Structure formats: C-alpha cells, structure tokens
C-alpha cells in the first residue's frame, strides 16, 4: 500500500488538473491545467518502468547496484513531452488570438456571439 505512493501522487495530480479544467473560467488557467495533466501522465509512465534500486540505463555511467531501469517507457515519454510542447504552443497561440478578438479570456464572456 505505502509502496504505491508514487502512483497515488500521480493520481492526485491528474485529478487536480481534471478538476481545474472543470471549474476554472480563465483560459490561461485551463491551459496550465492541461499541461499539468499531461505531466502527470508522463510521470506515471516513468514510474511504471522503475525497478527498486535500479540504475540509469547508460553503460559505463551507472555506478554499482541493481538492475537497470526499463528504457522503453523513458523513450516513449521523451516523444510524448515534445508533442505536449507543440500542443501547448498551439493552445497559447489560439488563446492570444481569442483575446485579440473578444477582449477577454473568460469562458462565459467568450461564449457570446460578436460580429
């Protein structure tokens, strides 16, 4: 039970991002919540590949100790981080254009139509 504490932390971070998406009205805060949610998923992937007492998966740099941690989740997380970065850049650009068009970034006020 206590050994699974990293998974609990990741779950709490995920729920925090989800609740922020549901409850916040500011578009910048929603973008930050989406980023936190993606980071929690990345942390979950890295935590899945950890071995107790594991070493870094680089030969001749690992020191002494147990087996190497799994390298494939780390590689896939590296890919996911770059895709999340591209998505965040696009989200922030769209928020800037929304602010330029409507003059506000509140979700309730953006919803009304404006020629």
Partner 1 sequence: MKKMIFILSAVIIGGLTCGLLDVPHPFGDPGVVPMDEHFLGQALKDLSTENVVTSIVFDYRGFDTIGEAAVLFTAICSVTALFREGRKKS
Partner 2 sequence: MKPLSLIVRTGCNLFAWFMLVFGVNVVVHGYASPGGGFQGGAIVATFIAFLLVSYGGEKIHSWVNEKIYDLILEETGLLLFITLAFMGLPTSFFYNFFTIPWEAYQQTGRLFPQGTTAIMSIAVGIEVAGALSMVILSMFKGIRLVSDRQIEEEPGHDR
102 scored as a contact of partner 2 (CB under 8 A): no
Residue with tokens 């390298």: 71
Selection from partner 2, partner 1, none that 114 binds (CB < 5 to 8 A by kind) is: none
Position 3 contacts partner 1 (CB under 8 A): yes
CB 10 within 8 A of CB 40: yes
Closest CA to 45 of 70, 62, 20: 70
Residue 112 interacts with which of partner 2, partner 1, none, CB < 5 to 8 Å by class: none
C-alpha torsion sign, points 82, 84, 85, 87: positive
- 99 touches which of partner 2, partner 1, none (CB within 5 to 8 A by kind)? partner 2
Tell me the CA distances in angstroms from 106 to 24, 36, 80, 98, one per residue in order: 9, 20, 29, 10
**Contacting positions for partner 1 (CB under 8 A):** 1, 3-8, 11, 15, 18-19, 22-23, 47-52, 57-61, 68, 70-72, 74-76, 78-79, 82-83, 85-87, 89-90, 93-94, 97, 100-101
């Amino acid at each position: 039970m206590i050994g699974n504490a990293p998974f609990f932390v990741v779950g709490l971070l995920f729920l925090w991002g989800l609740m922020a998406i549901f409850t916040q009205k500011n578009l910048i805060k929603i973008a930050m919540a989406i980023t936190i949610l993606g980071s929690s998923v990345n942390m979950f992937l890295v935590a899945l590949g950890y071995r107790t007492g594991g070493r870094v998966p680089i030969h001749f740099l690992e020191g002494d100790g147990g087996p190497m941690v799994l390298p494939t989740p780390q590689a896939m997380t590296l890919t996911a981080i770059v895709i999340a970065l591209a998505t965040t850049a696009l989200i922030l650009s769209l928020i800037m254009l929304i602010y330029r068009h409507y003059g506000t970034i509140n979700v309730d006020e953006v919803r009304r139509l404006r020629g």
